[in-house]
Chain A
Amino acid sequence: MNRIKELFKSKRKSLLSVYYTAGFPTLTATIPIAQHLEKAGVDIIEIGIPFSDPIADGPTIQESNKIALDNGMNLHLLLEQVRGIRKCVSLPIILMGYLNPVLQFGFEKFVKEAARVGVDGLILPDLPVDEYLLMYKKIVDENELTNTFLISPTTSEKRIRKIDAASNGFIYAVSSSSTTGAQQGFSTEQESYFKRLQDMKLENPFLIGFGVSNHETFAAVSKYSSGGIVGSAFINLLKNSTDLDSDITRFIKGLR
């Protein structure tokens, strides 16, 4: 069974999903980072497929994308590395990336390969829901992957319901109308948006991301949702780390 669906069956509180860019800070860091994350006790690993033009990302993730590409990362190599991760890590793995590299690889080929090497889910922020339903859902379902859509504070209730119906794992609730980036705390406005989502009693669980960076913000999102997604703050840690193992352990401990 799909590891993401399995996870949400057994646990729906304070789940921690951590994003990092494949091939950053070094080309071969992808596998050890996954191992450290599992050891440190995270629940989901989200691996970014680097892209030259990541329009939904702030400066931190933009830079990690660029460095990863300069390091020589590409989708073939990334899938190869996931195969390596699967030999030693049993956490759910999600690949997150922009549509163009996936389309050049071939959508169906990508989904099949991903499933084969042990990927559990996809997040493709610039894939429109309608196009997904029409052209890609069948392929994703056949290969038993989940596909996660984003929603933001400006997403209408009607559209959230539509996205909920199109989802099969969890929903990614973006905390504010913004690109990715670390943030120190949430406004009351943001908290009331989280509350509104909680009260909608969606079919799918949702995790909150963008701006989750420390214990306070992780606790705040966990109050209203199944947990949080940390990205930019973790990339900042990787960028400055001299000892990945102990730095990652300390960082994750600090979040919990």
Chain B
Amino acid sequence: MTYAVDEKGYYGQFGGAYIPEMLYPNIEELRLNYLKIIQEDGFIAEFDQLLKDFVGRPTPLYFAKRMSERYKAKIYLKREDLCHTGAHKINNTIGQILLAQRLGKRKIIAETGAGQHGVATATVCALMGMECIVYMGKHDMERQKPNVERMRILGTKVVPALSGSMTLKDATNQAMRHWINHPTDTHYIIGSVVGPHPYPDMVARFQSVISEEIRNQLNEEIGNPFPDYVIACVGGGSNAAGAFYHFLNDEHVQLIGVEAGGKGVDTGKSAATTVLGKVGILHGSKSLLMQTADGQVVEPYSISAGLDYPGIGPMHAHLFETGRVQFLNVTDDEAMNAGIELSRTEGIIPAIETAHAIAVLSKMDFAPDDVVVINLSGRGDKDLETYIKWGKY
């Protein structure tokens, strides 16, 4: 079994590049160059150096003692929340901006949901002195205000997406339209393992540093690179892709993806794509997609802006279909409770996206010496307003 992308850009039946002709030259330029560029010594050296000195990698693999006692397993937290800008998203934006420079691009666009990818993009654009526009659903701009202002402070123009549910899907539509209109001087930094090939593979590679470090750190800590479980939340699936990447072929490592159940998968207010989705095409790739019988994309719902997306990356659709990754989902309330729980047990306020991954601990049965790694994808600073509104603490 191979879980890697094939030469045509597919993971099993999922993936591909379903794009209007106007984008073909851009995507083709990326497809033909990305592997060559990111495997150059000079690229690797600059990428590694920025991850170390600017992002603060390697991020700790922290043994969560009190959580371990509570759930009767050895629980480790991979501290992506300690990355500069507060989430894993910057691993990808550093990689893509270095790539954009080597392709001779001068301007950057991005979409953002929670604003974490937008901030991470705004940050690397400031770092490299590149012009940056970020599209963000109007609704998300309201629920993630601090991140909007962070982007503006960094010199990025934030443009509201006003169509549909005014969330991540709509911001992505707008970014793609912008790219169609500015094809030559602009690179589009997609924020997750979604979009047309080669984006899913490219983003997964940039995020794979997470599992590379987990292996090394576990090996040092317990003399064995393999945990029993790796758990990560899944919006588009980039932090999960990074956390799973170097374990995909080690079938004895159980991989668990956690989707946003919203108010419950049967309520019509959910973003649990593997439960509610069917095969479909959105944003340039074939994957699982929440849609009506008529093929119209359904507006997803989650309390967390970063998980509020009607699809998942094609790689994850394949991992779901093959059974390599088990997908669970948790509701808004379960996630919020888990966020408070982690805050009080370990002194870490997680992003609400991340809190979804924490929330599955109480649904699982561990053996006492099971080693469980949770990818702590981001910190909760951006979510204070949502925590306050929720209020139950």
- A residues contacting B by CB (< 8 A) are 51-53, 55-58, 62, 66, 69, 74-76, 98-105, 125-128, 131, 149-152, 154-156, 159, 174, 177-179
User: Do the beta carbons of B183 and A159 come within 8 Å of each other?
Assistant: no
For residues 268 through 288 of chain B, which have their beta carbon under 8 Å from a beta carbon of chain A? 278-284
User: Do the beta carbons of A154 and B184 come within 8 Å of each other?
Assistant: yes
User: Do the beta carbons of B22 and A150 come within 8 Å of each other?
Assistant: yes
User: Do the beta carbons of A154 and B295 come within 8 Å of each other?
Assistant: no
User: Do the beta carbons of B173 and A55 come within 8 Å of each other?
Assistant: yes
Residues from chain B with Cβ under 8 Å of A57 in the complex: 177
Say whether, besides A52-B296, A75-B294, A179-B177, A131 and B282 are in contact (CB < 8 Å): no
Q: What is the bound-complex CA distance between A209 and B180, given in angstroms?
A: 15
- B18, B21, B280, most chain A CB atoms within 10 A: B21
Residues from chain B with Cβ under 8 Å of A177 in the complex: 22, 180-184
Interface flag for B98 (CB, 8 Å): no
Residues from chain B with Cβ under 8 Å of A178 in the complex: 22, 180-181
User: Do the beta carbons of B282 and A100 come within 8 Å of each other?
Assistant: yes
Say whether, besides A103-B295, A154-B183, A128 and B163 are in contact (CB < 8 Å): no
User: Do the beta carbons of A174 and B22 come within 8 Å of each other?
Assistant: yes
Instruction: Closest B residue to A73 by CB, please name it.
Output: B294
- Which one, A58, A74, A100, contacts B280 given CB within 8 A? A100
Residues from chain B with Cβ under 8 Å of A51 in the complex: 295-296
Instruction: Closest B residue to A49 by CB, please name it.
Output: B295
Instruction: Closest A residue to B183 by CB, please name it.
Output: A177
Residues from chain B with Cβ under 8 Å of A151 in the complex: 21
Known: A51-B296, A76-B294, A99-B18. 7 other contacts (CB 8 A): A53-B164, A56-B177, A100-B280, A103-B279, A103-B280, A177-B181, A177-B184
Q: What is the bound-complex CA distance between A128 and B31, given in angstroms?
A: 15
Residues from chain B with Cβ under 8 Å of A98 in the complex: 281
User: Do the beta carbons of B22 and A154 come within 8 Å of each other?
Assistant: yes
B294 CB to closest chain A CB (Å) equals 4
Residues from chain A with Cβ under 8 Å of B163 in the complex: 62, 66
- B residues contacting A by CB (< 8 A) are 16-22, 24-25, 163-164, 169, 173, 176-177, 180-184, 278-284, 289, 291, 293-297
Residues from chain A with Cβ under 8 Å of B24 in the complex: 154-155, 159
Q: A-B pairs with the 4 shortest C-beta distances?
A: A104-B295, A101-B295, A150-B21, A56-B20
Q: List 19 contacting pairs A-B, 8 Å CB cutoff, sorted by A.
A: A52-B297, A53-B173, A55-B173, A55-B177, A55-B180, A56-B180, A57-B177, A58-B177, A62-B163, A66-B163, A100-B280, A101-B294, A103-B279, A125-B20, A154-B22, A159-B24, A174-B21, A177-B181, A177-B183
User: Do the beta carbons of B21 and A104 come within 8 Å of each other?
Assistant: no
Say whether, besides A100-B291, A156-B25, A177-B22, A55 and B183 are in contact (CB < 8 Å): no
Say whether, besides A101-B296, A104-B294, A177-B183, A126 and B280 are in contact (CB < 8 Å): no
Say whether, besides A53-B173, A152-B21, A155-B24, A99 and B281 are in contact (CB < 8 Å): yes
Say whether, besides A52-B164, A100-B281, A74 and B19 are in contact (CB < 8 Å): no
- B176, B177, B279, most chain A CB atoms within 10 A: B177
Say whether, besides A55-B283, A56-B180, A74 and B294 are in contact (CB < 8 Å): yes
Residues from chain A with Cβ under 8 Å of B278 in the complex: 104
User: Do the beta carbons of B18 and A154 come within 8 Å of each other?
Assistant: no
- B163, B279, B280, most chain A CB atoms within 10 A: B163
User: Do the beta carbons of B296 and A131 come within 8 Å of each other?
Assistant: no
Q: What is the bound-complex CA distance between A31 and B22, given in angstroms?
A: 31
B153 CB to closest chain A CB (Å) equals 30
User: Do the beta carbons of B181 and A100 come within 8 Å of each other?
Assistant: no
User: Do the beta carbons of B181 and A128 come within 8 Å of each other?
Assistant: no
B171 CB to closest chain A CB (Å) equals 12
Q: What is the bound-complex CA distance between A101 and B282, given in angstroms?
A: 11
Q: What is the bound-complex CA distance between A26 and B19, given in angstroms?
A: 30
Instruction: Closest B residue to A99 by CB, please name it.
Output: B281
User: Do the beta carbons of B297 and A53 come within 8 Å of each other?
Assistant: yes
- Which one, B16, B22, B279, B282, contacts A128 given CB within 8 A? B16
Residues from chain A with Cβ under 8 Å of B289 in the complex: 100
User: Do the beta carbons of A150 and B20 come within 8 Å of each other?
Assistant: yes
A30 CB to closest chain B CB (Å) equals 16
Residues from chain A with Cβ under 8 Å of B177 in the complex: 55-58, 179
User: Do the beta carbons of A127 and B18 come within 8 Å of each other?
Assistant: yes
- A58, A76, A104, A125, most chain B CB atoms within 10 A: A104
User: Do the beta carbons of B180 and A179 come within 8 Å of each other?
Assistant: yes
Residues from chain B with Cβ under 8 Å of A76 in the complex: 294
Instruction: Closest B residue to A159 by CB, please name it.
Output: B24
Residues from chain A with Cβ under 8 Å of B183 in the complex: 154, 177
Q: What is the bound-complex CA distance between A238 and B238, given in angstroms?
A: 43
Instruction: Closest B residue to A55 by CB, please name it.
Output: B176
Q: What is the bound-complex CA distance between A106 and B281, given in angstroms?
A: 13
Q: What is the bound-complex CA distance between A101 and B292, given in angstroms?
A: 9
Q: What is the bound-complex CA distance between A154 and B154, given in angstroms?
A: 33
Residues from chain B with Cβ under 8 Å of A128 in the complex: 16-19
Q: What is the bound-complex CA distance between A202 and B382, given in angstroms?
A: 56
Residues from chain A with Cβ under 8 Å of B283 in the complex: 53, 55
User: Do the beta carbons of B18 and A149 come within 8 Å of each other?
Assistant: no
Residues from chain A with Cβ under 8 Å of B164 in the complex: 52-53
Residues from chain A with Cβ under 8 Å of B17 in the complex: 128
B20 CB to closest chain A CB (Å) equals 4
Residues from chain B with Cβ under 8 Å of A66 in the complex: 163
B6 CB to closest chain A CB (Å) equals 14
Residues from chain A with Cβ under 8 Å of B180 in the complex: 55-56, 177-179
